[in-house]
Amino acid sequence: MIGVLALQGDFAEHMDVLQALHAMAKEVRSITDLEGCSHLIIPGGESTVMARLMQSCGLWDCILDRAQKGDLAIFGTCAGAILLASEIHGKNAPPSLGLVDMTIDRNAYGSQLQSFHADMDLSTMGRVQCAFIRAPKIIRTGKAVETLATYEGNPVLVTQGRFLASTFHPEARGERAVHRMFMGL
C-alpha cells in the first residue's frame, strides 16, 4: 500500500498518478492511516508548514522511526525532498528528517515567477516531463547517494537506499515514470 501524506500540498495529484498506475494507494493524515503502508510519498507544498503539521499529529516521529528501521520507503517531491535532506540551507529552514545525505538549498531558483517546466532524458526512464515550482537545489550529495538525473549541473533526482527525492514535480504534469520506479523500491 502506498500512502500519500495529505496534510498539505499537492497530494491529490500524486493520488491521480497512483490511480493511473493502478496502485493501491491511500491518503495519510494520521499514524493510524500510515499503518499498513510500505511506501510513503511526501508531496510538494510548504516544507515549514508540512513539518509543523507532521510534528503536531505525531507522524513525524512515526515516519522517522519506521524509515530508520528500513520499514518504509519514502519519495519526497520538492518540499518533501527538502524534509528528507540531512542539511537544509535558506531562510527559515524547517527541521529535517535527515534520511538522505545531501544538502539542499530552499527556494534556490527564486519565487513563483521563476518556476518552469523542463523535459529531461533519464537514462533509466526515457523522457520525463518535470515541473519546477519554487524548487530547491541539491548542492551536495554524500557518498551513499546516487544521482539519477541532473538539470543544469545540479542533481534533481537522487536516491539513497529506499528513499527517493526529486526537486521537481513529476505529478504536476501527470508523469508516471518516477512513481513507477518508486513503487519498485
Positions marked catalytic:
78, 169, 171
How far is Cα 49 from Cα 16, in angstroms, rounded to an integer? 23
CA 52 → CA 15, 20, 182, distances in Å?
Answer: 22, 31, 26
The nearer residue to ligand GLN, 7 or 79, going by C-beta atoms, is 79
Name which of residues 89 to 108 contact ligand GLN (CB under 6 A): 106-107
SS3 6: coil
78 interacts with ligand GLN by CB under 6 A: yes
Rg (CA), the chain: 15
Among 3, 44, 76, 155, binds ligand GLN (CB under 6 A): 44
Residue 8 has which C-alpha cell?
Answer: 498539505
The nearer residue to ligand GLN, 78 or 125, going by C-beta atoms, is 78
Among 6, 40, 79, 100, binds ligand GLN (CB under 6 A): 79
Residue 108 has which C-alpha cell?
Answer: 534556490
**Residues interacting with ligand GLN, by CB under 6 A?**
44-47, 78-79, 82, 106-107, 133-134
